[in-house]
Amino acid sequence: MPQRMARVSWRLLLLGVLFCAAGLILTARLAQLQIVSHGHYAVEAEDEHMGMEKVFPPRGAILDRNGFPLALTLDTYDIYISRKVWQDEKLAASGAEALSSVLGKRPDEIVAALGPDTEGDALIAGSVGYDAGRKIIEMGVPGVRATATIVRFHPEGDLASALQGFVGRDQTGLAGLEADLQDELGGAAGTLYFERDSMGNPIPFGYRQLSKSKPASDVRLTIDRYIQEATEQALDAAIEKNGAAGGTIIVMEPKTGAILAMASRPSFKLSQLDLADESKMDLYRNRAVTDLYEPGSVMKVVTMSAAVDLGLVTPNTTYEDTGMAYVGGYAIENWDYSVNGTTTMTQLLQKSLNTGAVWVSQQIGPERFYEYVKRFGFGAPTDVGLGGEAAGTVRTSDDPDWYPSDLATNSFGQGISVTPLQMITAVAAIANGGELMRPYIVQDVVDSDGSHETQPEAVRRVISESTSRTLTAMMNDVVEGVPSHGARVQGYHVAGKTGTSFISVPGGYAPDRVITSCVGFAPVSDPRMIVLVKIDEPQGERLGGTVAAPVFAELAPKILSYLGVPPDAPALVQHAG
Amino acid sequence: MSTLDRLISRPLPRPFPHITGVRPVLLGAFLVVASLGLLQVAQTSSATTTGYNLQRLENERSATQAEVHQLEAEVAVLTSIDRIEREARGRLGMVPAGNTMTLEVLKQPPEQKLVPLRFLFESKAPEASTSSWWQKLLNLLPFF
């Protein structure tokens, strides 16, 4: 009997130990799940039960200087279908039937759009109108999810496409001002956390928390839609007329640096945007600030400004033009191979003589010449606020690869690369009394705190007011002193300079490819606008005076009239009180 | 007689015997619990109704906002350069100017009103002081 009791006690003890061990193991496992790995499993559970959605504030509008919208935001929905749910053919058929009337698609088209995959969501229709989207939500078709989104709408069509740029599906600006002003136009998206059902849809009246988003701002540009339209029409017509490869026109207020119009070709159209086509990537940049060119004879006004400002020459100073200038072992000729004998500085600009520019640059000397080149803003970005702006290429006498012949060629605008925006900003300094203004394109940003206006900013004084007046008069003589100059504008006194430059290619210049340009401003007495016209690789006529100047002459009176600038006296018919 | 005495000496029964002792406490507790339960149900119902109303109002707000955006777009289309040109050419029979003659009118043009209203950048006038008489009175006190 005692032996039996001992055996029983041993078995009970073993059982007890086993139970205790099992209990300890279970407790340890529970502790591991609930305490040690609590965070991990809590996150997993939350991921399972909670959904998250970015909620974008309505994107701000892009407006022209008068407040007319160039880009607006419309509320839309993206419609997704859960492939897993629609594996049920009967359910898919009834769902497609229900959606077809709202989406305007055939049921079989909707089902086919799911593709061969069986997992994930398929975007069945993007940017569906707000009312249609709400209707789909209210229909409650199983497996169908409508996500609120926005779409950009451009009331002026393709106007200023390259300048405005575009946004991606995530409402982030991808190009142009949409990208450059992403913070202002986009605000900051909020995040909506919500309890979701097994289908991923929000549970009605379930947990819902929306983190606050930063409201977007409206951005008013300095661009004027009328001037922009006229500019684009003039550019397109000039390119077509001359069989050109492209071109750029910029219109600016010389006194403030405000850009009134900026157009460049080739470019894209907002209405035909196809981001999937990689061959069109090259069209998305704003060539007015990204592309460099050698300005040719327009640069002579910069050279002349430096010489006049230094007191080295006056409009009546003469030099002897032998038709040839020898610099650093190179012979430089006039563009028309002319020999002009005794020539004044004004005649130099009127005839656009390369030999004269070389002579003037030699009077200035390389150090002072490049100092002026930099003071005019070449070789550094203008900081206009547009993405991808190039600094330009200026080789100075301090650079190891500089040669004396560079000074000569730079004086008439070859061997130096600038952007169209740099060029017009530099000439604007001559027009406005000698101050280099920082060009700007955003007039003001309007947010909940009010309007934040951009103030015109003078970067530096480049030349004296006296030099500015002298150069303006000389440039006026260039246009009005040459019979049938292409840049003449009936009724207004205009100052201008044309240029033609060869395009540099590896190993030299392409003899049959030129860039023609013209910069002009008016009225001379009180310049209200300055226009730069650049036409790339025209066929047939190949001079700035015959290709680019007529474009200026066509555009300038439209702009002046629109700006309410009365013509100079001879053209004025009557004063009315 | 003794039987009668016994009967007389017995205390008279109370009118509501069922609410004596523990029973009233239990009844009270039951009523409290029931009230709390009802309150909970009422609160939950009220919260659900409020949540529903909130969601409905949010939807209405979104719909109104979407409608505003749509109307802004329509106004923008109606004031677009293309549309103005179409109307000028088609409805009014206008053509681009040929010979230009300039007549300077020495009067200010009428003020241009732009639409939509949201895009009118009118400067805000500083708000007038709205201090009440008693606030002004308090301001007179040196320690206030």
Q: How far apart (Å, rounded) are the C-alpha atoms in residues A484 and A8? A: 128
Amino acid making up residue A480: E
Residues 6+ apart with CB under 8 A from A557: A489, A490, A491, A492, B100
* Contact between chains at B80 and A229 (C-beta distance less than 8 A): no
> Does residue A40 surpass a pLDDT of 80?
yes
Inspect the interface and report whether the beta carbons of A75 and B65 lie closer than 8 Å: yes
Q: Give the closest-approach CA distance of B47 to chain A in angstroms.
A: 9
Does A569 touch chain B if contact means CB atoms closer than 8 Å? no
pLDDT score at B20 = 62
Helix and strand tally (H, E) in chain B?
4, 1
Average confidence score pLDDT of chain A: 91
What pLDDT is attached to residue B136?
A: 65
Instruction: Say if CB A305 and CB A428 are below 8 A apart.
Output: no
- Across A261-280, average pLDDT: 91
- Rounded to the nearest angstrom, the minimum Cα separation between B143 and chain A is 34
Residue of B nearest to A572 (CA): B102
Structure-model confidence comparison of residues A46 and A320, the more confident one: A320
Partners of residue A574 in chain B, C-beta under 8 Å: 103-104
Inter-chain contact B105–A561, Cβ cutoff 8 Å?
no
Pick the closest to residue A190 from A101, A58, A281, A308 (CA basis).
A58
| Nearest residue of chain B to residue A574 (CA atoms) | B103
Chain B residues whose beta carbon lies within 8 Å of the beta carbon of residue A205:
48, 51-52, 55
CA distance A237 to A230: 11
- Band (A536; pLDDT cuts 50, 70, 90): very high
pLDDT value at residue B124: 46
Residues of A in contact with B122 (CB under 8 A): none
- Gyration radius from chain A CA atoms: 35
**What value does the mean pLDDT take over residues A337-359?**
96
Q: Does the structure show a pLDDT above 50 at B126? A: no
Contact call for B52 and A574, based on CB within 8 A? no
pTM of the model: 0.81
Residues 6+ apart with CB under 8 A from B144: B138
Q: Would you state the structure tokens that stand for residue A197, as one six-digit string?
A: 């059902």
Q: What are phi and psi of A217, to 5 degrees?
A: -115, 150
* Whole-number pLDDT of residue B13: 59
Q: Which residues in chain A have Cβ-Cβ distances shorter than 8 Å to B79?
A: 68, 155
pLDDT at res. B59: 83
pLDDT score at A567: 86
- B89: Cβ–Cβ under 8 A, 6 or more apart, which residues? B95
Predicted confidence band of residue A152 (pLDDT cuts 50, 70, 90): very high
Candidates A253, A549, A231, A167; CA nearest to A428 is A253
Of A74, A573, A577, the CB nearest to B70: A74
Asked if the C-beta of A72 comes within 8 angstroms of chain B's C-beta atoms, the answer is yes
pLDDT value at residue B21: 75
Name beta bridge partners: A333.
Answer: A324
DSSP β-bridge partners for residue A508: A505
Contacts of A491 in chain B (CB under 8 A): 100, 102
Question: By CA distance, what is A568's nearest residue in B?
Answer: B102
DSSP B118: G
Homologous superfamily of the A52-221 domain (CATH)? Penicillin-binding protein 2a (Domain 2) (3.90.1310.10)
A207-239: pLDDT as tens digits = 778 888 888 999 999 999 999 999 999 999 999
| ∠ CA A20-A24-A25, rounded to 5° | 120
Q: How far is CA A16 from the centre of its chain?
A: 80
Q: Do A68 and B52 touch (CB under 8 A)?
A: no
Under CATH, domain A225-269+285-441+457-565 is a member of which superfamily?
Answer: DD-peptidase/beta-lactamase superfamily (3.40.710.10)
pLDDT tens figures, A246-270: 999 999 999 999 999 999 999 999 9
* Residues A130 and B66 sit within 8 Å (Cβ to Cβ): yes
The predicted pLDDT at position B123 comes to 43
Please tell me the least confidently modeled range out of A202-216, A329-343, A373-387, B11-25.
B11-25
Q: Taking 80 as the threshold, does the pLDDT of residue A26 lie above it?
A: yes
Residue A213 vs residues A57, A189, A209, A373, A480: alpha-carbon distances, Å: 7, 5, 12, 47, 58
Tens digit of each residue's pLDDT (9 = 90 or more) over A504-523:
888 888 888 999 999 999 99
Q: Is the pLDDT of residue B16 over 60?
A: no
Count residue pairs from A and B with Cβ separation < 8 A: 98
Q: What's the pLDDT tens digit per position in A421-454?
A: 999 999 999 999 999 999 999 999 988 888 899 9
Contact A493, A520 (CB under 8 A): no
Separation between Cα atoms, residue A398 and residue A391, nearest integer Å? 18
Token digits of residue A288: 């007015």
DSSP H or E segment with residue A168: none
Give pLDDT, residue B125: 45
Q: Are A301 and A427 in contact (CB under 8 A)?
A: yes
- pLDDT bin (cut points 50, 70, 90) of residue A493 is very high
**Domains of chain A by residue range:** 52-221, 225-269+285-441+457-565
Q: Is the dihedral of CA A549, A554, A560, A566 positive or negative?
A: positive
Residues from chain A that touch B77, judged by Cβ atoms under 8 A, are 155
- Closest CB from B55, B63, B81 relative to A229: B81
The reply to whether residue A205 touches residue B114, judged by beta carbons under 8 angstroms, is: no
